[in-house]
Chain A
Amino acid sequence: MRRIMQECVRRYISNNKNSALLLADIGAWPFHDLLEKYPSRAKNIGIFEAGMVSLAAGLSISGIVPTVYGITPFIVQRALEQLKLDFVYQKLEGNFITTGASYDFSTLGYSHYCPEDVLTLKTLPELEIVTPGTPQEFETLWNSCHNNGRATYFRMTDYCNSMNVNCEFGKASILKKGENCTVIAVAETLDKVWNACKNEDVTILYYSTVSPFDYGTLSDNCESGKILLCSPFYVGSLVADIVKSLESRRIIIRECGVPNEVLRNYGTKDEKDKYCGITVSNIKEMLESLI
């Protein structure tokens, strides 16, 4: 996904003189040609994410669309007030790409984890949040959002799905129709969801845009009133959207996601998924108990 992201950004910066790239000294090397070719507007300016996001807003006010790239918690949390006041409040355009996802940097500890990014950014009305699961999905979503006049958060992961979905910005994809339950897969959980549920009589929906949330597709595809939500985020991140999609209906929701706790363990991404219960076997168990 990083490679595709780099290509997308390179293309955009190269073809648009009213664009700028701001790197926070993370993943800068692959952009070295861009930094050399466009030194006035493609810069690795070091680690000062809060000030950097305000700086990006100043560019945006002046008609230069900024693309900011950094590690998830340092963009989402350190610069949260800047995203809120400088971009959302001022209705400015900008692209915020992060690496690290929930706990891709599994050995770096809690400081570098951010399973709360979606929950946190959902508090900012009008901010677009896309969570591609594959490089192709990143490219599709980038092409839809990177120059659309709004602020967009692109959540990258290094642990992509093998299953690519022909996704569309702002729309959930219906991967399978069934009777007993609606299973919602988000971002990099899709492979596990598919493996756990493909032979069951269930509907499977895949979300690669979580804001704006596609209420309609869920509303039209949840006859059973039973929902199993699988996401790589803190549990609760999308429950409000699900309830809103199905308001005035009796529903049962079960959720497979990151428990809302301080993660003090390290290990591999896979070990962390097991700890959180984001596994094929657990998804199967949760589904069985639900239906």
Chain B
Amino acid sequence: MENKNVLKKLRKKILYISLIGKDGNIQSCFSSLEIIWTIYSFFLSVGRTEHFSEGRNRFVLSKGQSNLAVMVVLAEKGVIEERELEKFCKFDSRISMQADRTKFSGIVETSAGSLGHGFPMAVGMAWAKKIKSEKGKIFCLAGDGEMNEGTMWEAAIFASSEKLNNLVLIVDDNSSISRLIDIGSLKDKFIAFGFIVSEVNGHDVEALKEVLELNFDKPHVVLAKTIRGWGSKTLIEDRSWFHRYPKEDEIELLCREVDDFEKDYARMCKKIYFK
């Protein structure tokens, strides 16, 4: 199945699972989905026999609210069972709004929930690879809103000082922070902090793959421009969807929007956001 169709399927799955679990950060999951799909499809060995090798690439989800997007990708890759997804947010489930690594040994590398933790841990993991002379990279996905946390920049200083060229930070930049404060240019900030900066359309799998394959002698940050709720007109336009789940009578419309997204909306979004 083409990426485009798989991603539509996964978006609809996110909607259904949120309905079953009666909770969801769907806008955030939709914002991150192409990034997460690209990393799992092309850069991680999860689900393959060689996965538990020491020198593997590892992924840290720092913006924990996109956890359901990771879970549907893991299910698509056959790492977790579909029926587990249907227990989303249930009392005895392994899967909820945020990840608990103790329930996914070797598959989910870090727990998440409180922002500003994942990236510093990813820096520690990249440092550990250097200590052990291990191959592989650490890919970390953070949100642009998360870049307001001081620990992100504390970790950035250290990563730069150590020249951790095995570290790739992807910022899902859906303007979460710039709608609140004038954060200025993240690009300029990361350059000043000693990172190599790439900018990319965060909903373009091929473009993401290309930029994530790059190697440098410094830590690399990919500023992935995205739109909250990408994939559904309603989710993009209605801010109340940041933290809510669809009701029975909404799901059909939302799924139809996912199916018809390019036709209805994408051209306009591209014009506005991805000049």
Contact = CB atoms under 8 A, between A and B. Distances in A.
B128 A85 contact: no
Contacts, number: 91
A275 interface: no
Contacts of B155: 51, 54-55
Contacts of B114: 81, 85
Contact of A55 (B111, B130, B150, B158): B158
B128 A57 contact: no
A61 B249 CA distance: 44
Contact of B121 (A40, A48, A58, A91): A58
Given A85-B113, A85-B117, A90-B110, A50 B128 contact: no
B101 interface: yes
Contacts of A85: 111, 113-114, 117
Interface in B112-148: 113-114, 117, 120-132
Contacts of A41: 131
A71 interface: no
A57 B110 CA distance: 9
A20 interface: yes
Contacts of A48: 151, 154, 157-158
A63 B110 contact: no
B130 A54 contact: no
B157 A58 contact: no
Interface in A32-73: 40-41, 45, 48, 50-52, 54-64, 66
A52 B150 CA distance: 12
Contact of A62 (B117, B129, B150): B129
A61 B117 contact: no
B3 interface: no
Contact of B158 (A51, A81, A86): A51
B16 to A, nearest CB: 29
Contacts of A131: none
B117 A55 contact: no
Contacts of B101: 61, 90
Contacts of B128: 58-59, 61-64
A48 B153 CA distance: 10
A62 B58 CA distance: 10
B124 A50 contact: no
B93 interface: no
B34 interface: no
Interface of A: 18, 20, 40-41, 45, 48, 50-52, 54-64, 66, 81-82, 85-86, 89-91
Query: Top 9 A-B pairs ranked by shortest CB distance?
Result: A58-B124, A51-B154, A62-B128, A54-B120, A58-B121, A55-B124, A48-B154, A58-B125, A51-B151
Interface of B: 100-102, 109-111, 113-114, 117, 120-132, 150-151, 154-155, 157-158, 161
Given A61-B128, A82-B117, A86-B121, 15 more contacts: A20-B131, A41-B131, A48-B151, A50-B154, A51-B154, A51-B155, A51-B158, A52-B154, A54-B151, A58-B123, A59-B125, A61-B121, A62-B129, A90-B101, A91-B102
